[in-house]
Amino acid sequence: GRLKMAAGGGRYFCTAGRGMEPFLAREVRARLGATEVDYVTGKVFFSTEAEPGELRKLKSGERLFLLLKKCTPLMVSRHKGKMLQEIKSLVTEEPKYWLDVISIWRNFHGHEEKKDDVSQENQLPLKRKSEEETNIATKRQKMEQERETVSEECQAGAGEGCVVPERKSDWDCQTESETSLEDRSKSSGEKPIANSEQLNFSFRVSCRCSGAIAKILPSQEIGRAVGIALMKQCGWRADLRYPDLEIFVHLNDIHTVVGIPLFKLPLANREYIKTAGLRSTVAWAMASLAEISAGASVLDPMCGLGTILLEAAKEWPEACYWGADISDSQLEGADVNIRTAGLMDKIELLKASVRALPLPSESFDAVISDIPFGKKFKITKDIQLLPDILQEMERVLRVGGTVVLLLSQDLHKRMDAITKCAENDSPNAISDGASETATAKALKVDGNSSSSVNGVEESCLSSQRTRFGSLVPDGIYGVSLGKTDAFIYKYRKISTAGNR
């Protein structure tokens, strides 16, 4: 449970949608130079000396936390008092380390605190109102993201007795008011370790509990116990609505984790996206697989509101981007998003059908697309059109280029079916005596967990062709979209279409 504090840096964890953990682990290494990178379902742990500005740039994570404690699951017993005492020790046994972490947190928020302290009493209500108005468009998406993360973390445990709290009731002390909690702290007779400056902190505890421990102790009871312990230990005051500091406690059958959120809004909330379409983290992950380089031409032939193009253009601005869609309303929304993001000079839009793109053959280095899940037309028609869609994508793609697609579970099954019938429908599409089972095997993925099909032998890949031409599989990644699961498919074009 003891964590070492990196000189000038710290230990962190970031929550992630199911299936996004490998993308986030790679990103923290590449972007932050992170070390000690480790992940479980829903969380990636790492150490870094990166500055706040760099940490804010993470694109594949949901919420970022300073890590206070990570240890093995608590021993479950029928003695609730003993269990609560062990839980309290999570926040009381190493006060020096807590203060070190709080110091890092204060450094992150130092400028904001100085600015707010000047006229906090007069400005705070206005500031709160302004923040609520600014974020009202993303509030529903934010709640959905948080609920998804909670549900996925619960699945990592036993998945039983999981509490999904609303924002304002993270630590809902139903039997005690904030005032009585504060009075208890003041009259406890215990001297807080914090100095007078730190006494000004207000806080709340967000507790999420799943698995065996949830059958014994409810989240509210755990949160209240931790809150009282912190008031005695540090002299902080409880504020459930507008705290300076939030303490996140997650207990399950996998581990015990305590952390402090670094930023008020999730990393997944993009200030440059006015109207959200596809989940921004998944869109970024798709773009990261496309191997976009300076001067590359990138196409999304079913761009919708343009989320994939926005994420790609923000991260890889030296490339040129094109978006096509058959829907006027989608293109209008995409245009608004592009203008809001200030990317008018990076992204071109055109109205066109993905089955008949008015674009030259072999003119793009990458094609990235979220094939709609019955949003624009019925899913049965979607499935029937899939081979035509793939053939047109293949046509406009240069040799050596990549195709990255997001497919629903139904379309994922259809993709397997297309591959399996390749040998029967197009005998010449399979060369060098490769069997169809090898191709089918390369495309299959366990739908119950995130996984990637990587490391396929190059000789094997080069000998396999699908019915839709010269695209060969180069990876499959299962990801969660909240209520549904989906699959990111990556293909590489190995020869000119028609030269089989």
List where CATH 3.30.2130.30 sits in the chain.
Answer: 10-261
pLDDT digit string, tens, across residues 274-321: 888 899 999 999 999 999 999 999 999 999 999 999 999 999 999 999
**Which strand (E) or helix (H) includes residue 493?**
strand 485-493
pLDDT of residue 309: 98
Say what the pTM is.
0.75
Superfamily of domain 280-493: Vaccinia Virus protein VP39 (3.40.50.150)
Among candidates 57, 25, 53, which has minimal Cα distance to 311?
57
Query: How far from the centroid of its chain's Cα atoms is residue 364's Cα?
Result: 28
CA distance 102 to 74: 24
Residue 231 token pair: 């008031």
Residues 6+ apart with CB under 8 A from 427: none
First to last CA, the chain: 58
CA distance 187 to 236: 13
Query: Is the CB of residue 477 less than 8 Å from the CB of residue 449?
Result: no
Q: Are strands 10-15 and 43-48 parallel, antiparallel or unpaired?
A: antiparallel
Please report how many Cα atoms fall inside a 13 Å half-sphere around the Cα of residue 244, on the Cβ side.
Answer: 19
pLDDT of residue 9: 63
List where CATH 3.40.50.150 sits in the chain.
Answer: 280-493
Lay out the sheet containing 347-351: strands in order across.
Answer: 347-351, 320-325, 297-300, 364-370, 397-408, 485-493, 471-480
Q: Where are the beta strands (DSSP E) in 240-370?
A: 245-251, 256-261, 297-300, 320-325, 347-351, 364-370
Beta bridge partners of 45: 13, 38
pLDDT of residue 497: 53
Rounded to whole angstroms, what are the CA distances from 167 to 145, 240, 458?
12, 9, 49
Among candidates 388, 413, 406, which has minimal Cα distance to 468?
388
Query: Is the CB of residue 301 less than 8 Å from the CB of residue 279?
Result: no
What would be the CATH architecture of the domain defined by 10-261? 2-Layer Sandwich (3.30)
Among candidates 259, 163, 148, 144, which has minimal Cα distance to 211?
163
Residue 305 token pair: 């509101």
Rounded to whole angstroms, what are the CA distances from 349 to 82, 329, 338, 363?
63, 13, 10, 16
Residue ranges of the chain with per-residue pLDDT less than 50:
1-8, 111-198, 374-377, 423-424, 426-467, 500
Residue with tokens 């590489």: 492
Among candidates 37, 24, 68, 95, which has minimal Cα distance to 206?
68
